[in-house]
Amino acid sequence: MSLVARDGWEYTLGMTDIQSRALPSGSLLAAGCASADYTDCFIAEVPRAVSLEEYVIAFYNSAAFRPERWILHAIGKGSGGGDVRALAAGETEEFAAWTVEARTNTEILMRDFQQRTCSWLCVEDLSGRTRLYFGSGVRKPDGALVKALMPFHRFYAKTLLKSAAASV
């Protein structure tokens, strides 16, 4: 919700609005996952230009992602701020539990070390604003446990995007 004050400035109230969207057909995630796989796509818009590098740093250093980093440390797949910056700058193909599968100036697609899930980040320039995308892919999501965890996954994905959008 926005409101325009008497001074002419527009102020946004509340938190960033997160929306579920169809996965763009030309995206790296769409190209990297078979049609039978589960994919999702969430978006948030921020009121300034944001590069992919800035978004990657904000996402993986966000408050919402911090607990996942602790868990990854516990299983020997930890990473620090320097690792995040190297990933964002395109200086490494390895980050925590993921390997970069594909990258452009506006997208990055990473697959986990077990080859079961992938994560996708994308920025879209909207003339002074930026649409941030976050999507996931799960290969062969046919197990009962995976299906049972999907509502939590969608909630967590939205939380991660909201936290990153607040940080850019």
Structural domain that includes position 162: 17-167
pLDDT at 144: 87
Domain presence at residue 1 = no
In this prediction, residues 33-44 reach a mean pLDDT of 84
- Measured over the CA atoms of residue 70, residue 73, residue 77 and residue 82, the dihedral's sign is positive
Neighbouring CB atoms inside 10 A of 30's CB total 18
Any domain includes 160: yes
Q: From CA 21, how far away is CA 40, in angstroms rounded?
A: 8
Coil, strand or helix at 85: helix
Task: Report pLDDT for 47.
Answer: 96
The pairing of beta strand 2-4 with beta strand 117-125: unpaired
Look at residue 28 and tell me whether its pLDDT is greater than 70. Answer: yes
In a domain, 148, yes or no: yes
The residue with greater pLDDT, 118 or 35, is 118
Smallest Cα–Cα separation from 141: which of 154, 159, 129, 131?
154
Q: Crossing angle, helix 81-88 and helix 52-60, to 10 degrees?
A: 160
| pLDDT of the residue at 36 | 58
Q: What pLDDT sits at residue 12? A: 43
Residues 60-96 have pLDDT tens digits of 999 998 887 787 878 777 787 788 999 999 999 999 8
7 found inside a domain: no
CATH of residue 63: 3.30.530
Confidence of residue 5 (pLDDT cuts 50, 70, 90): very low
> What pTM, to 2 d.p., does this model score?
0.86
Residue pair 136/123 in contact by the 8 Å Cβ criterion: no
For residue 114, being part of any structural domain is answered with yes
Q: Rounded distance, CA 143 to CA 146, Å?
A: 5
* Structure tokens, 51: 């590069």
How many domains does the chain divide into? Answer: 1
**Cβ-based neighbours of 112, under 8 Å, separated by 6 or more:** 97, 98, 118, 119
CA distances to 2, 15, 49, 61 from 64, in Å: 25, 14, 22, 8
